[in-house]
Amino acid sequence: MRSERAFGLTAVPARERREKKVVPDPVEPMKARQQEQPVREAASGALFGDDGPPTKTSPPPPLVPLPTVQPFEADVLPSEEKRRRLVALDNNEVRGCTRCRLCETRTNTVFGEGDVDSKIFFIGEGPGENEDLQGRPFVGRAGEQLNKWIAAMGLRREDVYIANIVKCRPPGNRVPMPDEVATCTPYLERQLEIIRPRVIVTLGLPSLKYMTGDPKLTMGRSRGHWRDWRGIKMMPTFHPAYVLRSYTDETRAAVWSDLKLVMSEVGLPMPKKK
């Protein structure tokens, strides 16, 4: 104040108090995002199939629907042309496919097999260990059970067509990841377009959800009821592996009821009761 009084000043104007500028810590938002990430992943939606509900630590991924729902418009192909196109699809694209990570652990691709003029097309979720080793769909215990169902319908395995959603075995028989399904389902769709069956039978909840793109479906409410997929009638039923695990009169009767609806749709005679 001495210097101010020398100039005749009796007071000093108060200085404006400035707020200290806080520089945001760039690490804090990162920490917050890291803490929120598990929550988002846990809430992303888990779907489960024949093996029961998923564990909290490893929820199955959300499903990816097939590209379109519009009915096929092209004419049905002659038998020889169907065979030629299926062989070309398998040899030129599926067997050497490296579009997703499943190619890294597979032994063989599992394209599918059966009658190219079949009226019935069975669809499972993915190859298991036996299928991966042999390169054929449904050849393990579940395959034996499926063969019995086909025989009960008065048919042979060679009279129907059998394939899966994905063509390579997921490691440890886990549920296929969304990008794996998105990569592989166009192959299945082209098989269906070439064969053009009268009826699709989805085996198990995962294949039904993949075909419909509806993650809210339940097998209890879905089986026994017709659906439509691109102009083809579709009947959901239990997976043979589930029936083997839950081998009850009720479960087997439910499957047989579904298969009888399929038989009626394609004009197969009902077998006499033994």
Tens-place pLDDT, residues 128-157:
999 999 999 999 999 999 999 999 999 999
Distance CA 240, CA 217 (A): 19
83-266 to CATH, choices 3.40.470.10, 1.10.260.40, 2.60.40.1180, 3.40.50.720 = 3.40.470.10
Measured in whole angstroms, how far is the alpha carbon of residue 111 from the centre of its chain? 16
Tens-place pLDDT, residues 92-112:
999 999 999 999 999 999 999
> What pLDDT is recorded for position 33?
42
Q: Token pair of 103, please?
A: 């190619």
Distance CA 245, CA 89 (A): 35
Tens-place pLDDT, residues 197-243:
999 999 999 899 989 988 899 999 999 999 999 999 999 999 999 99
> What pLDDT is recorded for position 213?
87
**Mean pLDDT confidence for 175-180:** 88
Distance CA 208, CA 205 (A): 5
Eight-class DSSP state of 153: T
DSSP 128-192: -HHHHHHT-SS-SHHHHHHHHHHHHTT--GGGSEEEESSSSPPGGGPPPPHHHHHHHHHHHHHHH
> What pLDDT is recorded for position 76?
95
Strand order through the sheet with 120-124 = 113-114, 161-164, 120-124, 199-203, 232-237, 227-229
> What pLDDT is recorded for position 20?
45
Domain spans, the chain: 83-266
> What pLDDT is recorded for position 69?
74
**Mean pLDDT confidence for 21-49:** 41
> How confident is residue 59, by pLDDT bands cut at 50, 70 and 90?
low
* HSE toward the beta carbon, residue 247, CA cutoff 13 A: 5
Classify 70 as helix, strand or coil.
coil
